[in-house]
Amino acid sequence: MRRLLVVGIIMLVLVGGGYLALRATAGDGPVETMAVTRGPLASTIELAGTVAARATRTLAFGTAGTVASVEVEESATVAAGDLLATLDATTQEAQLAAAEAALASAEAAIRSAESRLEADRDANAPRAIRQADRAQLAAAEAQAATARSQIAAAEQAVGLTELRSPIAGTVVTLGLAVGDRVVGGAGGASGAGSSAPGSIVVADLSDLRVETTASEIDVVALVDGQAVTLTFDALPEVALAATICEVAAAGRDSGGVVEFSILVCPSRDEARLRAGMSANVSIVLASVEDALVVPSQAVRVVNGSPSVRVLDADGTIRTMPIEIGISSETRTQVLSGLVEGDRVVVGEPDAGAG
């Protein structure tokens, strides 16, 4: 009975010196510990992103028709204003020619009416004749104005049968072929990067970026110019230094979670990068060159107070309150409470060990 009482006292939690202590007996089995060390430490946010072109335009005809020609191939380089494809413009060109002919006729009528009015003045023609000639001049001028409007509309219609690139870049998707029937739409270009039937996608690949999103919790720590490291699933040996070049001012709802768009700009080009590749975005929030660190799994937080369990040389395990600084996914900085070389408990004995 006395022996049991002594063992019970040893196993009690003792309060003193600012920590709790207990003796690990052989029956508990070995505990897993790791040493407190020093080294560089960085606190980061890890995000998933996608390599994207600086600018992408999805181009489609603004009118219905049949594709008459395709002037480019996929992967072709184009300049701003280059012709990409045309529709059969027979009807539109005929309408333009008719409007131009109407204008020519109206202008001839204007010249004729002006000549008659001049002759009326020279001959001091009766007032009724002069009024009739002036009426004919006014009618001819009205016909000319109508023809000019028709020409403008016809030129616009002819223009809609031509598909031109608004930006310099590379044809990344070619969704048109000669003979295709296109429905047409209200506009000829959109900023969306995804292709659509009857469209051509042109992207400016001269300055690739990485697009990602951050939660409303993470975004408050992000600012333009913040350091970023980029890695890529397709290029495991590549790590690019980069900076945040744009943080969205407003978030958007994504399945009940508010997300903010983040644009990351690499500091140098990497020829093997392609738009659409997956990217891993590591954003440095804070760093310490010579931090005293422990494994994060060793840190316990109770009621907001962090602590670790330290294994002393004599086998005593004591709970030591600590003050912590920055942390990574695996390590936590210790500001006070431990010294380099202390051993902290990171794993419990196997409950089945005997």
Q: What is the chain's Cα-based Rg?
A: 39
Quote the pLDDT of residue 171.
95
Contacts of 174 (CB under 8 A, 6+ apart): 70, 72, 73, 74, 200
The two three-digit tokens of residue 48, written as one number = 């998933």
pLDDT at residue 186, rounded to an integer? 46
Nearest to 116 by CA among 140, 82, 97: 140
Three-state SS letters, the chain = CHHHHHHHHHHCCEEECCEEEEECCHHHCCCEEEECEEEEEEEEEEEEEEEECCEEEEEECCCCEEEEEECCCCCCEECCCCEEEEECCHHHHHHHHHHHHHHHHHHHHHHHHHHHHHHHHHHCCCHHHHHHHHHHHHHHHHHHHHHHHHHHHHHHHHHCCEEECCCCEEEEEECCCCCCEECCCCCCEECCCCCCCCEEEEEECCCCEEEEEEEHHHHCCCCCCCEEEEEECCEEEEEEEEEEEEECCCCEEECCEEEEEEEEEECCCCCCCCCCCEEEEEEEEEEEEEEEEEEHHHCEEECCEEEEEEECCCCEEEEEECEEEEECCCEEEEEECCCCCCEEEEECCCCCCC
pLDDT along the chain (354 residues), means of 10: 36 35 49 94 93 92 94 95 95 93 92 82 77 85 93 93 94 93 66 66 92 94 92 94 94 92 92 91 92 96 94 93 93 96 82 43
Cα distance between residue 23 and residue 2, in whole Å: 18
